[in-house]
Amino acid sequence: MVTESDYGEFETAWCPGCGNFSIRQAVVRALVELGLPPHKVVFSSGIGQAAKAPHYIRVNTFNGLHGRSLPAATGIKLANPELTVFAESGDGCSYGEGGNHFLAAIRRNIDITAIVHDNQVYGLTKGQASPTTPKGQITKTQPHGAPSNAFNPVAVAVAMGAGFVARGFAGAIDHLAGLIVAGVRHPGFSLIDVLQPCVSFNKVNTFAWYKQRCYELGDDHDPTDPRAAMERANEWGERIPIGVLWRSDRPAFAAGAVAPLAGRETAMGRLREIVDGYA
């Protein structure tokens, strides 16, 4: 039986009050509910405070270049379909540097779950606007306001007919854990965009700001209705819906296929020769 203690306890580099703590808690709860032992789980991440999240969970982890969490996750899943694979990073890493990979993952419908910490700012690099920062919002490095329109990741994912699109909130941990469970169980690419405060560099979208606006979608929302999904995806301002916005039955890319290298024993001797050749 899997328990939360199987995923370990770690000292983090996050600011007190950061939404990353709640997201980590929701992720661990979801993994326990799914009954996944750590050795069956892989997290791929890029660069940023959110991308450090897999460092603080005892699972297999690939921490790569800025914006490259999804291609690595795709390769891992195709090489070993038996693994449960996540891509976890921030809004800047996932929608900025990794924007094209985000679109490609939706098109391919790879069976992985992308958890995006969306605090609407680059935190690790001290506060410049990210793709999801609202136009005109003043940040530490945009004193005259962000010059571009904000990117709406859930609306784009719905418009492209993604497999599973959800929005969560770091202040609703149990609800978020449920979304992660549903995303993992969905066969195909699952996006879970998680709204969270950045206590150091976003003084607008605070925990209280989200708390006043976020509401959970009820049974009256049909996530298989594309028009309803798009309406909810674009709802932003005084009220912000959280929950499963969209779900489709598109077949997952390479469902059931086994990559040619999967299952082959590693030729350690030959591998060492290659590595030594670069020494």
Q: How many CB atoms lie within 10 A of CB 147?
A: 10
Rounded-to-integer distance, Cα 163 and Cα 85, Å? 15
Q: Maximum CA pair distance of the chain?
A: 62
What is the pLDDT at residue 37? 96
What is the pLDDT at residue 125? 82
**Backbone phi and psi for residue 85, each to the nearest 5 degrees, phi listed first:** -115, 135
Instruction: For 107-146, write each residue's pLDDT tens digit.
Output: 999 999 999 999 999 988 888 999 999 999 999 888 999 9
Rounded-to-integer distance, Cα 11 and Cα 102, Å? 30
- Mean pLDDT, all residues of the chain: 94
Instruction: For 192-222, write each residue's pLDDT tens digit.
Output: 999 999 999 999 999 999 999 999 999 999 9
pTM of the model: 0.91
